[in-house]
A and B are shown apart, each in its own frame.
Chain A
């Protein structure tokens, strides 16, 4: 992989619990984003950042928060987990008009 690290790889949460998915990249990329992957729906953009201190909502932002205090890190917070948030989450990073690199994914189950 090209330097996008996600943790944890697997997590089981109870409904109502909160947690943070961590994402870090060491390529000095300005763009970072979070996607969720669900069967038959491809990947959908949750939140997006064009640089430290700047974030924006994607297609499915409800129930998730993000912040970008440094260029390297872009954590995704689930405020109060719901079964509908059971999914595989991918963090990605890249530069303007260049390849977007994906992390290895985080499998989240909410029971």
Chain B
């Protein structure tokens, strides 16, 4: 079945450690890719998005992601995490340019950063 997979369900890091969260999708053709963050008790906020162009995308709060089309991947990275990055992270995909509103989400990764 077509899907979005996040391989890390729960990640625990110390402050200043580097972060990489995996995201793979199984759709062929054009896709748009997103990473959202959800802080405890809050709504989803967009970290970054990829539609086309440079496959290395920079987002807010020092996050970046790289789209590797051959690997169907869109991994999220941050060189040095902070305690305030503790949250749940969701990778999401829309198929084609006319389906922007129909996000397909991964299962989410809970990140816990220890001070």
Q: A residues bordering B, Cβ < 8 Å? A: 1, 31-33, 35, 40-45, 48-50, 58-59, 90, 92-105
Q: Distance (Å) between the CB of B39 and the closest chain A CB?
A: 12
Contact check: which of B32, B42, B103 meets A45 at CB < 8 Å? B103
Interface residues on B, range: 20 to 34
- Residue contacts A-B, CB under 8 angstroms, 5 given: A33-B103, A40-B107, A45-B102, A97-B51, A99-B46
Alpha-carbon distance A92/B104, docked complex (angstroms): 13
When distances are taken between beta carbons in the complex, the residues of chain B under 8 Å from A96 are 97-98, 100
Contact check: which of A1, A44, A95 meets B100 at CB < 8 Å? A95
Contact call A97/B97, Cβ cutoff below 8 A: yes
Q: Distance (Å) between the CB of A13 and the closest chain B CB?
A: 21
Contact call B105/A100, Cβ cutoff below 8 A: no
Q: Distance (Å) between the CB of A37 and the closest chain B CB?
A: 9
Contact call A102/B102, Cβ cutoff below 8 A: no
Q: B residues bordering A, Cβ < 8 Å? A: 4, 6, 9, 32, 34, 36, 42-46, 49, 51, 90, 92, 97-98, 100-108
Q: Please, which residue of chain B has its CB at the minimum distance from the CB of A103?
A: B43
* Contacts known (A42-B106, A104-B42, A105-B43); A97 close to B32, Cβ less than 8 A: yes
Contact check: which of A33, A41, A90 meets B102 at CB < 8 Å? A33
When distances are taken between beta carbons in the complex, the residues of chain B under 8 Å from A42 are 4, 6, 90, 105-108
Alpha-carbon distance A57/B91, docked complex (angstroms): 21
Alpha-carbon distance A103/B100, docked complex (angstroms): 17
Alpha-carbon distance A59/B95, docked complex (angstroms): 14
Alpha-carbon distance A45/B101, docked complex (angstroms): 10
When distances are taken between beta carbons in the complex, the residues of chain B under 8 Å from A31 are 100-101
Contact call B101/A92, Cβ cutoff below 8 A: yes
Q: Please, which residue of chain A has its CB at the minimum distance from the CB of B105?
A: A42
* Contacts known (A43-B90, A97-B32); A50 close to B101, Cβ less than 8 A: yes
Contact call B101/A100, Cβ cutoff below 8 A: yes
Q: Distance (Å) between the CB of A89 and the closest chain B CB?
A: 11
Alpha-carbon distance A31/B99, docked complex (angstroms): 9
Knowing that A40-B9, A96-B98, A103-B43 are A-B contacts, what are 19 other residue pairs whose CB atoms are under 8 Å apart, sorted by A's residue number? A31-B100, A32-B101, A33-B102, A40-B107, A42-B90, A42-B105, A42-B108, A43-B90, A43-B92, A43-B103, A50-B101, A90-B43, A93-B101, A94-B100, A97-B97, A100-B101, A100-B103, A101-B46, A102-B44
